[in-house]
Amino acid sequence: MPTRTTHPRLTSALAVVCCTVTAWVTTACGGVVARSPVLQDLVSERTVPGAAELSQDAHGTVRFATAGVADVRTGRRIGLTDRFRAGSITKTVVATVTLQLVAEHRLNLDDPVAEHLPAPNATALTGAERGRTVTVRQLLTHTSGLFSYTDDDAFFRRFFGQGFTEHRYESHTPDALLGTALAHAPYGPPGTRYRYSNTDYLLLGMVIRQVTGHSYAVEATRRIIVPLRLTGTSFPGTRATLPLPHGRAYSAATGDAPGAKGLTDVTDLNPSAAGAAGEMVSTLPDLNRFFAALLSGTLLPPAELRAMRDTSLSGGSYGMGVFPVRLPCRRTVWGHNGEITGSYVQTLGTADGRHVVSFRTNSDTRLSSRAQTKLLATEFCSTDG
């Protein structure tokens, strides 16, 4: 979120994280201190003011590190529990709720999506054969072929590009966003190829409401946030401000009134343009806890967890709300990234969920793939085998 060029079990220690933080220093709760220069590679004075990383390895060692600043005006560091916009990691939560409904036999992965939509949306989706045969499985795996509403040039310019400053507080309904998507021809017939589309998860949000009678936010709160005690995670809807505590969010590409050091402060925005595809707010500890629970099988039965990790329909690129990352040491980790105006985050973990890392920056500037690979290789390839 946005799509334009999209990529591709914690112990109780997290509840009582005892880390102290200085710039580029990682302090483990056991007292072992090690330098973390790889995090600094993500920071750039003109485009990426700050970065942070939180990891827990298979031995239960928790490490938190920061580089740069959370606020370019005050010099404040990024805090462990700072709230930030998690973008498309929202999709992992929506996929988890959807697969829980499958496990409860309230949905079937091969159901036509139109069977689980309000009548007006079903009619719009199936009109002129568009989307008539799109299934729940295809939405989850981004193989529906449906045009991503964020790929609409005018929409992208207004809400993620140069028009952001003027339009940042405008509200959007799911129906309107779907209308934007369906004004375009699909990328291809359903089920024929992988193409990441925010429209897929916009529709899954509608499916969850139709099947349960509640919004995806209510169901995710009841099924995931409350049971896992994710105290820093929320779905803001149309609320433009972030809950406290939080740092600032920056962009070098949006708006026409640059702030300090050529950056625009984009902290406040109406996230309804992202909706079920990317509106969630979270923290690093919450994301680690969620992915550890998910990957370890706490949130899904074995069959649904296997389905989530099945990348056969996407040619190995994407499962259902998660994707694999293959590291230079030939290990594969699983997770998702999130990108939204002013924020980038990625959470990845081993298949058993025992070793998890989340890292983030307070900018939407695209990070060097080399720097990200170096960070992940340092985290996963030098420990736990």
Which residues are annotated as catalytic?
A: 88
Pull the structure tokens for residue 190. 């359903």
Quick check: 240 and 268 in contact, CB under 8 A?
yes
Q: What is the C-alpha separation between 70 and 362, in angstroms, rounded?
A: 7
Q: Tokens 């099924």 — which residue?
A: 223
The CA-to-CA distance between both ends of the chain, in Å, stands at: 34
CB-based contacts of 239, cutoff 8 Å, min separation 6? 270, 271
Q: What is the C-alpha separation between 163 and 147, in angstroms, rounded?
A: 22
Q: What is the C-alpha separation between 102 and 10, in angstroms, rounded?
A: 26
Pull the structure tokens for residue 320. 């259902």
Provide the H-helix boundaries in the chain: 37-40, 89-103, 119-126, 136-140, 153-159, 164-167, 174-182, 198-212, 216-220, 284-295, 302-309, 369-380
Q: What is the C-alpha separation between 122 and 206, in angstroms, rounded?
A: 10
DSSP annotation string for 222-235: IIIITTTT-TT-B-
DSSP annotation string for 167-179: HTT----HHHHHH
Q: What is the C-alpha separation between 1 and 150, in angstroms, rounded?
A: 8
H or E segment and range at residue 335: strand 332-340
Quick check: 382 and 336 in contact, CB under 8 A?
no
Of 188, 190, 179, 91, residue with least CA distance to 144: 190
Distance of CA 329 to the CA centre of its chain: 25
CA torsion 318-344-51-47 (nearest 10°) is 130
- Regarding beta strands 264-265 and 250-251, do their DSSP bridges make them parallel or antiparallel, or are they unpaired? antiparallel
Say which DSSP state 221 is in: I
